[in-house]
Structure 1
Amino acid sequence: MYTLLIGLLFGVITGYLGFLIYPSYVLASLTFIAGVLLFNFFMGRYFMKKLTEVFNSIEKDIKAGKADIAIEKLKTGYKYSKWQFLVKEQIDSQIGIILYANKRFDEALPYLKKSLKSNWMAMSMLAAYYYRQKDYANMKAVMEKASKANKKDSFTQCLYAYFLSETGDVDSAIAVLAKAMKKLPSDERLQNASDALKNRKKIKMQAYNTLWLQLHLAKMPEGIKQYQTLIGRQKITRR
């Protein structure tokens, strides 16, 4: 990535200047490292701001149901991917979410596959896609990654347990919930899900309201908009 390469060059320059001021290889090494870290920190903040602007620019289009316009706007952010790590993956995640939320499942698939593991909604939608296709092996593999990357996200953990229980692995589902409750001991939804399974009942994912409905695994009530409030809950990652 350009930012890293230029950062290394900046570090070499600062290290060389440090050596000229005080001829010491230790000082030169320290100023080199400091130069690289400072350059990447400030450039990272700059590109994170740019990416945030791209994400914010599509909110009105989403609310107006103009998914294709929103996607084209998101793709303008690809130009930053040569400068900063993880930019393309974050944009692909958002595109995949928009397409899936609009029931364009097959179009969403290639984008969701490129999503970051930490993007819990994109990973949830990818797992839901495989679940719909009865591809339970891939569904489980995706949710395992999502569960590890989002240990404190109640929806991710409960969804994983739901998928496991619905495919006959109730014991593993209970184990997932038990592990999740150690991280989220006050989450009543996880406790209720665990109690339901122990009493041979189904998990009621409706407790997660819109988040659950966006997966299109249950009928969406009238008045609920697709892709509602999801952008605001997505975290932008930089490295």
Structure 2
Amino acid sequence: MLNFLIAFVFGIAAAIPFNLVYNLQLIYCGLISMALFAVVYLLLARRTMNKVMALMQSAQHDVQANRMERALATLQEGFKYAPWQFYVKGQINAQIGTLLYLKKDFAKSMPYLEKAFVKHWVAMCMLAVSYMKRNKPAKMAETFEKAAAGTRKEPFIWNLYAYCQDKIGQRDNAIATLNKGLKKTGGDERLEASIAALEQGKRMKMEDYGDIWYQFHLEKTGAMIKKQTKAAQGRRKMPRV
């Protein structure tokens, strides 16, 4: 990208006079060149990422104020920085894709999610769920594996992966996924509970994850509201003494 190229050219150009004017050995000129390249690249990369982060923070404020369209427009401005720095395009795509998915604009979210940064596990999971809904189990599994590879210690990924496998009739695969998740995460009560539920022929209780679960829109609105209301009522009850 441009930051890399600028730093590379600067590093070489700045080191040449040390050889031509001061007759410094090439090996030392090379070391100077690499040092200059590293410093300049880090400065340029930091400047670009600061601008990108400012846009994302502005978009986040808009989301919190329920100005979703304005947030999406703000994020679109971030694409102008894509030629300058590695991974910026993928990060912007991930942010836009997740916002569109949250809006239930699944058709529009798909192209962005498909080009999202693979380390953005929420975007990857949303993409995997989208593949499941489109009856593409192989693509679903491949995408979940990418999400898990980037964030192995996050139990929710393994639980969501297994939930989707169970939903399409792959219960044995779902149990295997949960057991794999247990090993990768070092143990988790909710993963263990999900294994026990599936082995007993019961459904997984994903609502224990709260908002992070509901944002994937895998439950019908009526059922989701009923569960959220019940949970809220439970929290409001006076404790017994």
Bin of the TM-score, shorter chain as denominator length = 0.7 to 0.9
Flag as ranges the 4+ runs of structure 1 deviating above 3 A: 17-22
Relative to the length of structure 1, the TM-score reads 0.86
One-letter code aligned to 1:51: V
Matched, 1:91 2:92: yes
Deviation per CA, 1:38-60: give whole Å up to 9, x if none: 22222222222111111110223
SS at match of 1:221: helix
One-letter code aligned to 1:221: I
Identity value in percent: 35
Paired with 2:196 and 2:62, the residues of 1 have a C-alpha distance of 41
Unaligned runs of 5+ in 1: 225-239
Give the superposition deviation at 1:27.
Answer: 0.9
Distance 1:23 1:60, change over 3 A: closer
After superposition, residues 215-234 of structure 1 pair within 5 angstroms as 215-218=216-219, 219=221, 220-221=224-225
- 2:24 corresponds in structure 1 to 23
Is the helix fraction higher in 1 or 2? 2
Give the superposition deviation at 1:194.
Answer: 2.0
One-letter code aligned to 2:110: L
One-letter code aligned to 2:216: L
Paired with 2:191 and 2:74, the residues of 1 have a C-alpha distance of 37
One-letter code aligned to 1:58: A
Paired with 2:13 and 2:38, the residues of 1 have a C-alpha distance of 13
SS at match of 1:183: helix
Paired with 1:136 and 1:70, the residues of 2 have a C-alpha distance of 32
Matched, 1:8 2:8: yes
Paired with 1:101 and 1:171, the residues of 2 have a C-alpha distance of 30
Matched, 1:110 2:111: yes
Contact 1:15 1:27 (C-alpha < 8 Å) held by counterparts = no
Report how many residues are paired.
Answer: 224
Contact 1:18 1:31 (C-alpha < 8 Å) held by counterparts = no
- 1:237 corresponds in structure 2 to none
**RMSD over aligned Cα atoms:** 2.0
Give the superposition deviation at 1:215.
Answer: 0.8
Paired with 2:196 and 2:29, the residues of 1 have a C-alpha distance of 61
Paired with 1:180 and 1:31, the residues of 2 have a C-alpha distance of 46
Give the superposition deviation at 1:7.
Answer: 1.0
Deviation per CA, 1:141-162: give whole Å up to 9, x if none: 2112212122112211211111
Unaligned runs of 5+ in 2: 229-241
Distance 1:203 1:17, change over 3 A: farther
Matched, 1:212 2:213: yes
Paired with 1:208 and 1:17, the residues of 2 have a C-alpha distance of 61
Distance 1:195 1:21, change over 3 A: farther
Q: Which has the higher mean CA deviation after the structures are superposed, 111-120 or 25-34?
A: 25-34
Give the superposition deviation at 1:18.
Answer: 4.2
After superposition, residues 55-204 of structure 1 pair within 5 angstroms as 55-204=56-205
Paired with 2:22 and 2:69, the residues of 1 have a C-alpha distance of 56
Contact 1:161 1:172 (C-alpha < 8 Å) held by counterparts = yes
One-letter code aligned to 2:225: P
- 1:229 corresponds in structure 2 to none
Paired with 1:189 and 1:16, the residues of 2 have a C-alpha distance of 60
One-letter code aligned to 1:128: V
